[in-house]
Each structure stands twice: as C-alpha cells, then as structure tokens.
C-alpha cells in the first residue's frame, strides 16, 4: 500500500495527492499535522528515504530559523524537533514498501510506482 504524508495547506503536497490520484493506484493519506507521527515512525521514514534527519528539515520555516538555526544539534535533537514541530518536515513524503521519496518535484513519485 502506498502512503502519502500530506499537508493540505502545501501546494507541493496537494500536487503529490493529485499525482497519486491520476496514477490510479490505491493509497492511504496521513495528515501528519493533525495526527503527528511518533519517533519510531519518523526514524523508519528517514531510513526508507535514505536521509539524515537534517536532510528532511524545512530550513526556511520560521520555527527552524527562530529556535534551531545555528545551533549544534545531533540527529536525535533534530528528530525531536520534527516530532515537536511536524511542520518542519519536508513534504509530501510518499512511501511504497521499503522505499520512500519526498515528492519535490512531483515527478520523483514516479520512482515508487
């Protein structure tokens, strides 16, 4: 089952949902801002993405700039920041089995289908 971690307020995330709809594939949508993910899920997503925690952070978000930018943070602290402030995570994240991609640009989703 394909899963998309979606923020409906984000244009790229809405484009990811539209892409999956157009593909005709069944998928599940996780509204991660309304139903925050736990630390184990985030670590699993990072593994499937083959990302370090900092690679998944939206560094232009105000929360990041105000609270974290310029600080020496280890991976656990970055993960904790994304758990506390899920808006910091790049989006959309699309998962299919053992692989995942960030759907920016939308065409990267093709790799999973």
* Catalytic residue list: 10
Specify which residues 57 forms β-bridges with: 89
How many Å apart are CA 1 and CA 69, to the nearest integer?
Answer: 36
CB 100 within 8 A of CB 112: yes
Q: How far apart are the first and last CA of the chain?
A: 11
Q: Let me know how long the chain is.
A: 113
How many Å apart are CA 58 and CA 69, to the nearest integer?
Answer: 11
């Amino acid at each position: 089952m394909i899963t998309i971690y979606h923020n409906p307020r984000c244009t790229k995330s809405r484009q990811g949902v539209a892409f999956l709809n157009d593909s005709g594939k069944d998928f599940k949508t996780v509204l991660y801002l309304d139903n925050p993910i736990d630390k184990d899920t985030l670590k699993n997503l990072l593994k499937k993405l083959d990302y370090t925690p900092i690679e998944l952070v939206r560094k232009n978000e105000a929360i990041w700039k105000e609270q974290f930018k310029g600080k020496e943070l280890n991976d656990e602290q970055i993960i904790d920041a994304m758990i506390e402030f899920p808006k910091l995570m790049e989006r959309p994240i699309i998962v299919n089995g053992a692989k995942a991609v960030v759907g920016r640009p939308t065409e990267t989703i093709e790799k999973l289908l």
